[in-house]
Amino acid sequence: TTPEQNENTAKLTKEFNIIKFNQFVEESQELGKKGEFEKAYELIKQAIKIFPSNQDAQWGVSSCLNHLKRYKESIDEYKKLIDIQDEEKPENPRYRFEMGQVMIFDGQTYEGLKEISKAMELTVEFDSFLARVGEIYEELNMPVEAEIAYKTYLEKFPFDYKIWKRHGDCLQKLGRNNDAEISYLTSKNIKN
Protein backbone atom coordinates (compact mmCIF):
# COMPACT_ATOMS: atom_id res chain seq x y z
CA THR A 1 0.00 0.00 0.00
CA THR A 2 1.06 3.54 -0.65
CA PRO A 3 1.48 6.21 2.03
CA GLU A 4 -1.55 7.97 0.55
CA GLN A 5 -3.66 4.82 0.90
CA ASN A 6 -2.48 4.39 4.49
CA GLU A 7 -3.39 8.00 5.23
CA ASN A 8 -6.87 7.54 3.72
CA THR A 9 -7.42 4.33 5.69
CA ALA A 10 -6.35 6.04 8.91
CA LYS A 11 -8.67 8.97 8.19
CA LEU A 12 -11.62 6.65 7.46
CA THR A 13 -10.92 4.65 10.63
CA LYS A 14 -10.84 7.83 12.70
CA GLU A 15 -14.11 9.07 11.17
CA PHE A 16 -15.73 5.67 11.74
CA ASN A 17 -14.58 5.69 15.37
CA ILE A 18 -16.00 9.17 15.93
CA ILE A 19 -19.35 8.10 14.49
CA LYS A 20 -19.43 4.91 16.60
CA PHE A 21 -18.37 6.81 19.72
CA ASN A 22 -21.15 9.37 19.23
CA GLN A 23 -23.70 6.61 18.64
CA PHE A 24 -22.72 4.84 21.86
CA VAL A 25 -22.88 8.07 23.87
CA GLU A 26 -26.24 9.15 22.41
CA GLU A 27 -27.81 5.72 22.86
CA SER A 28 -26.47 5.53 26.40
CA GLN A 29 -27.98 8.93 27.21
CA GLU A 30 -31.35 7.89 25.80
CA LEU A 31 -31.34 4.68 27.84
CA GLY A 32 -30.37 6.67 30.93
CA LYS A 33 -33.36 8.97 30.40
CA LYS A 34 -35.56 5.85 30.40
CA GLY A 35 -33.93 4.57 33.60
CA GLU A 36 -32.24 1.65 31.84
CA PHE A 37 -28.88 2.23 33.49
CA GLU A 38 -27.44 -1.26 33.10
CA LYS A 39 -27.80 -1.05 29.31
CA ALA A 40 -26.64 2.57 29.33
CA TYR A 41 -23.55 1.53 31.30
CA GLU A 42 -22.66 -1.20 28.79
CA LEU A 43 -22.90 1.26 25.89
CA ILE A 44 -20.88 4.00 27.57
CA LYS A 45 -18.15 1.45 28.31
CA GLN A 46 -18.03 0.76 24.56
CA ALA A 47 -17.56 4.48 23.93
CA ILE A 48 -14.72 4.59 26.49
CA LYS A 49 -12.96 1.77 24.62
CA ILE A 50 -12.87 3.97 21.52
CA PHE A 51 -11.74 7.20 23.25
CA PRO A 52 -10.51 6.34 26.77
CA SER A 53 -9.68 9.92 27.74
CA ASN A 54 -13.00 11.50 26.71
CA GLN A 55 -14.32 13.27 29.80
CA ASP A 56 -17.96 13.19 28.74
CA ALA A 57 -17.87 9.41 28.37
CA GLN A 58 -16.03 9.06 31.70
CA TRP A 59 -18.69 11.24 33.29
CA GLY A 60 -21.33 8.93 31.80
CA VAL A 61 -19.62 5.95 33.45
CA SER A 62 -19.58 7.74 36.83
CA SER A 63 -23.23 8.68 36.50
CA CYS A 64 -24.38 5.20 35.43
CA LEU A 65 -22.54 3.59 38.33
CA ASN A 66 -24.24 6.03 40.70
CA HIS A 67 -27.69 5.18 39.33
CA LEU A 68 -26.85 1.48 39.61
CA LYS A 69 -26.07 2.14 43.30
CA ARG A 70 -22.48 1.02 42.75
CA TYR A 71 -21.37 4.01 44.80
CA LYS A 72 -17.76 3.10 45.56
CA GLU A 73 -17.03 2.48 41.87
CA SER A 74 -18.83 5.71 40.95
CA ILE A 75 -16.76 7.67 43.48
CA ASP A 76 -13.55 6.19 42.04
CA GLU A 77 -14.60 7.26 38.55
CA TYR A 78 -15.47 10.78 39.73
CA LYS A 79 -12.06 11.01 41.43
CA LYS A 80 -10.41 10.18 38.10
CA LEU A 81 -12.38 12.97 36.44
CA ILE A 82 -11.45 15.45 39.15
CA ASP A 83 -7.79 14.47 38.91
CA ILE A 84 -7.69 15.30 35.20
CA GLN A 85 -6.26 18.77 35.35
CA ASP A 86 -4.57 20.86 32.77
CA GLU A 87 -3.95 24.53 32.30
CA GLU A 88 -6.44 24.92 29.47
CA LYS A 89 -9.34 23.22 31.24
CA PRO A 90 -9.83 24.01 34.91
CA GLU A 91 -11.66 21.63 37.21
CA ASN A 92 -15.31 21.08 36.40
CA PRO A 93 -17.06 21.70 39.75
CA ARG A 94 -19.99 19.53 38.67
CA TYR A 95 -17.84 16.39 38.96
CA ARG A 96 -16.91 17.25 42.55
CA PHE A 97 -20.50 18.24 43.39
CA GLU A 98 -21.93 14.99 42.03
CA MET A 99 -19.19 12.95 43.71
CA GLY A 100 -20.12 14.59 47.02
CA GLN A 101 -23.73 13.54 46.55
CA VAL A 102 -22.67 9.97 45.75
CA MET A 103 -20.51 9.95 48.89
CA ILE A 104 -23.56 10.95 50.93
CA PHE A 105 -25.56 8.10 49.35
CA ASP A 106 -22.68 5.78 50.23
CA GLY A 107 -22.84 6.82 53.88
CA GLN A 108 -19.72 9.03 53.70
CA THR A 109 -21.80 12.04 54.75
CA TYR A 110 -19.09 14.30 56.17
CA GLU A 111 -16.70 13.65 53.28
CA GLY A 112 -19.52 14.21 50.81
CA LEU A 113 -20.46 17.52 52.40
CA LYS A 114 -16.81 18.60 52.21
CA GLU A 115 -16.68 17.83 48.50
CA ILE A 116 -19.96 19.63 47.88
CA SER A 117 -18.62 22.67 49.76
CA LYS A 118 -15.47 22.67 47.62
CA ALA A 119 -17.59 22.58 44.46
CA MET A 120 -19.80 25.37 45.74
CA GLU A 121 -16.74 27.55 46.35
CA LEU A 122 -15.96 27.33 42.62
CA THR A 123 -19.39 28.35 41.29
CA VAL A 124 -22.82 29.67 42.22
CA GLU A 125 -24.42 27.02 40.01
CA PHE A 126 -25.29 24.79 42.97
CA ASP A 127 -26.48 27.44 45.44
CA SER A 128 -30.02 26.07 45.38
CA PHE A 129 -28.61 22.88 46.96
CA LEU A 130 -27.77 24.82 50.14
CA ALA A 131 -31.28 24.06 51.43
CA ARG A 132 -30.54 20.33 51.15
CA VAL A 133 -27.16 20.85 52.83
CA GLY A 134 -28.99 22.50 55.73
CA GLU A 135 -31.37 19.55 55.95
CA ILE A 136 -28.46 17.11 56.02
CA TYR A 137 -26.81 19.07 58.83
CA GLU A 138 -30.12 19.06 60.70
CA GLU A 139 -30.35 15.27 60.32
CA LEU A 140 -26.82 15.05 61.72
CA ASN A 141 -27.94 17.19 64.68
CA MET A 142 -25.56 19.97 63.68
CA PRO A 143 -27.80 23.04 64.06
CA VAL A 144 -24.99 25.61 63.82
CA GLU A 145 -23.94 24.33 60.38
CA ALA A 146 -27.59 23.90 59.32
CA GLU A 147 -28.40 27.48 60.32
CA ILE A 148 -25.44 28.79 58.31
CA ALA A 149 -26.46 26.78 55.23
CA TYR A 150 -30.07 27.98 55.50
CA LYS A 151 -29.01 31.59 56.05
CA THR A 152 -26.75 31.50 52.99
CA TYR A 153 -29.51 29.87 50.95
CA LEU A 154 -32.06 32.47 52.05
CA GLU A 155 -29.74 35.31 51.05
CA LYS A 156 -29.99 34.00 47.50
CA PHE A 157 -33.56 32.62 47.57
CA PRO A 158 -35.43 34.82 50.06
CA PHE A 159 -38.97 33.70 49.17
CA ASP A 160 -38.76 30.06 50.27
CA TYR A 161 -41.13 29.99 53.23
CA LYS A 162 -40.36 26.35 54.06
CA ILE A 163 -36.67 27.12 54.53
CA TRP A 164 -37.47 30.23 56.60
CA LYS A 165 -39.36 27.88 58.95
CA ARG A 166 -36.49 25.38 59.08
CA HIS A 167 -34.10 28.27 59.68
CA GLY A 168 -36.30 29.31 62.59
CA ASP A 169 -36.22 25.74 63.96
CA CYS A 170 -32.41 25.80 63.93
CA LEU A 171 -32.29 29.19 65.61
CA GLN A 172 -34.66 27.96 68.29
CA LYS A 173 -32.44 24.91 68.95
CA LEU A 174 -29.54 27.33 69.33
CA GLY A 175 -31.47 29.33 71.92
CA ARG A 176 -31.83 32.33 69.63
CA ASN A 177 -35.59 32.63 70.18
CA ASN A 178 -35.98 36.27 69.03
CA ASP A 179 -34.21 35.49 65.73
CA ALA A 180 -36.31 32.33 65.42
CA GLU A 181 -39.51 34.34 65.76
CA ILE A 182 -38.38 36.64 62.95
CA SER A 183 -37.76 33.62 60.70
CA TYR A 184 -41.14 32.10 61.60
CA LEU A 185 -42.90 35.41 60.92
CA THR A 186 -41.08 35.77 57.58
CA SER A 187 -42.15 32.23 56.65
CA LYS A 188 -45.76 32.97 57.55
CA ASN A 189 -45.81 36.25 55.61
CA ILE A 190 -44.37 34.65 52.47
CA LYS A 191 -46.76 31.69 52.66
CA ASN A 192 -49.82 33.93 52.99
Give the predicted TM-score (pTM) of the model: 0.82
Predicted confidence band of residue 160 (pLDDT cuts 50, 70, 90): very high
DSSP state of 129: G
- Over residues 59-83, the pLDDT tens digits come to 999 999 999 999 999 999 999 888 8
**Separation between Cα atoms, residue 151 and residue 137, nearest integer Å:** 13
Tell whether the model's pLDDT for residue 86 goes beyond 70: no
- Over residues 113-122, the pLDDT tens digits come to 999 999 998 8
Which whole number is the average pLDDT over 147-176? 95
Identify the pLDDT of residue 88. 53
Average pLDDT, the chain: 92
- Over residues 168-177, the pLDDT tens digits come to 999 999 999 9
* Best CA proximity match to 102, nearest among 126, 142, 67, 135: 67
Q: What is the 3-state secondary structure (H, E, C) of 3-47?
A: HHHHHHHHHHHHHHHHHHHHHHHHHHHHHHHCCCHHHHHHHHHHH
**Separation between Cα atoms, residue 77 and residue 87, nearest integer Å:** 21
DSSP 47-94: HHHH-TT-HHHHHHHHHHHHHTT-HHHHHHHHHHHHH---SSS---HH
**Separation between Cα atoms, residue 22 and residue 95, nearest integer Å:** 21
Tell whether the model's pLDDT for residue 12 goes beyond 90: no
